[in-house]
Chain A
């Protein structure tokens, strides 16, 4: 499993070490109309490494050391997944449980994730109007992001404005197209910013 992980990552690191790490978690990518296209789009951008967690660890046997080394090298961590039962898929939760070790990810002044960006890219099945008091889900969507937001805060990460596609189940091709385009634009922007920062730091 370990060997597979390295091999997959190596493909994206031929030029420079990836600045942006996309943690992609979809339990059934063959059925995903949105997330899979987002992942493919991310892979096409230089300086971006996509960790397809369900593909890499089908037995949930996540390699924490390797994941930590990827995290350490990145400036921006992207959580890319559908919202399931008001939260992240179980694989990503398992990833957090075994990778974000106390004393490494948080709990010390100079923890490994301090100052890195944290960007949530997600989809929901219901439309935006289902997320309000009195509606199907009873609360505004932001209320459900509290755990991941606080996790980022605990680790000293900078929370970037999430990119959310509501109503993915009924989204038209044009809407999905536009969403993927917006994602690509923002991701490419972060990638070049990171590259600039690198140049400035180097100089």
Chain B
């Protein structure tokens, strides 16, 4: 038993380790890699794993963790502010998609019960796939990302009554009486109240207590225990585990241990989500597919066309940037995890025959596989269009020669860009937030929307004729990838980079970047100066001189450690030595200042 567990773990991990990097290398994203890995090791691939069902069940906990972590990011006040998109847009999405699918099924001659449940179940999207796709493309903060998120949240809520009404449509005996519904509602309210009170007066003191014992693994264990316990509790009163975990997350969002919980749970979430995608891949029942390939493919195609159509239409009604409508529709197009549950419930309640249920499950699973593919195609096409558009303009007016390209127009890039702009520098901005893009275009900036690390986008933005490139991207990996691509394709283009931390600073140095600024250093020194002058009444000019010395020594120190940073052990001891050196430097500074006091002449 134990042996087979380890063997299974070995198969899953090996499949992921091989398939995911390969898939990312081919530009297809991690999600598709996991799905393919699942298909390969599953009953219709190399048959390395037999029980796809169990794995899927277990891996659903990845989705639970995902929602808990999302909840941690959302304080109650922010959630309240989102109520309109959640209920308005979410309601519209579920209602309209379900109605259209229901209508289409009726027209195709399906009985109304099956049509209704299929329509409702298929209106839900996959939280895991949609959020992972948004994340991969850095789209979470954009309007399309926010709308997707709100809608997914509503779907998690909507799944509960859906699962509840399925038995009512089936054989009457399984349906409960009216009184039970009231009791259920009361139960949910009681549990929620208990969570709010317990969260404040029990969980937080406990977290503090455990954090004080300084046993790191126990903190992690408690974090997992917390999520699992709350999810089971919520499930016992009829709320989905994912939604329960989400609410628990929201309740802990303003706690001081939020970040500790996040960092501890993050790797579990990642692995379990991966397992979830693998399990989805394994559960694609190819025997059902092979029995009637035409019907299954037709159903998948019809379902996707209808759902994408409705989503696209809805996105026009939402406040969303130009060019993001189709992307939004594609991201939410697939069937979701909850569809498996709804259809499972329908099969148990004998609304569905086993055949209908398994066919629909295959349709959902295939639609999940199709999503990353369509998104990849979308990325390719939109990149080419961007490039083409740029070429047209270049032919007409030869714009933005002698310009400066700024990659990443967030908090950091914005300041650089606005400063260069008032200095009369021609700017080209690359950013992936279409909201920004629209504002900037209105002010006459040349703006390219998209992932700055893509070679075609850099070319399209006119890197060949640029005077300088400012790399101000948040993400360290993207920043390094962009630097590598530019060094390779445009070795003469000077790069000015923002370093998020010292390691990033070194990584940029490795790639030949010479002009690097640590993003927080200057601001921190500046604030230190204010403390000394405004706070402690020290002489402003003297403080400035001390700050200048401090900056110089600090940079010397950083550069002195550079040759050793790759060798981890030496690096640690060098950094320690660096700290000692800094101490002596500071002591020396102080002594120098003191020595001077004795000697005056004016």
User: Which residues of chain A have a CB within 8 Å of any CB of chain B?
Assistant: 4, 26-35, 54-56, 58-59, 82-83, 123-125, 168-169
Contacts and interface: CB of A to CB of B under 8 A. Distances in A.
Contact of B543 (A27, A29, A32, A58): A58
Given A30-B597, A58-B543, A125-B601, 13 more contacts: A27-B541, A28-B539, A28-B542, A29-B539, A31-B597, A31-B599, A32-B600, A54-B541, A55-B539, A58-B533, A58-B540, A82-B601, A83-B602
A88 B544 CA distance: 20
Interface residues of B, number: 15
Interface in B528-580: 529, 533-534, 539-544
A125 B602 contact: yes
B596 interface: yes
A26 B539 CA distance: 11
Nearest to A56: B540
A17 B540 CA distance: 26
A108 B562 CA distance: 59
Which of A35, A54, A123, A124 is packed against the most chain B CB atoms within 10 Å? A54
Contacts of B596: 28, 31
A28 B592 CA distance: 14
Contacts of A27: 541
A26 B597 CA distance: 14
Contacts of B540: 54-56, 58
Contacts of B601: 82, 125, 168-169
Contacts of A54: 539-541
Nearest to A82: B602
A86 to B, nearest CB: 13
A35 B541 contact: no
Interface in B86-107: none
Contacts of A56: 540
B544 A35 contact: no
Contacts of B602: 26, 32-35, 82-83, 123-125, 168-169
B598 to A, nearest CB: 9
B589 to A, nearest CB: 15
B321 to A, nearest CB: 38
Across chains A and B, which 6 residue pairs bring their CB atoms closest together, nearest first?
A: A169-B601, A82-B602, A125-B601, A58-B544, A58-B540, A54-B541
13 contacts: A27-B541, A28-B539, A28-B541, A29-B539, A30-B597, A55-B539, A55-B540, A58-B541, A58-B543, A59-B544, A82-B602, A83-B602, A125-B601
B600 A33 contact: yes
Nearest to B543: A58
A54 B600 CA distance: 18
Contacts of B599: 31
Most chain B CB inside 10 Å of its own CB: which residue of A26, A58, A123, A124: A58
Contacts of A123: 602
A202 B544 CA distance: 45
Contacts of A30: 539, 542, 597
A62 to B, nearest CB: 13
Contacts of B534: 4
Contacts of A29: 539
Contacts of B529: 58
A186 B107 CA distance: 105
A25 to B, nearest CB: 10
A26 B600 CA distance: 12
A55 B540 CA distance: 5
B600 A169 contact: yes
Nearest to A59: B544
B526 to A, nearest CB: 10
Contacts of B544: 58-59
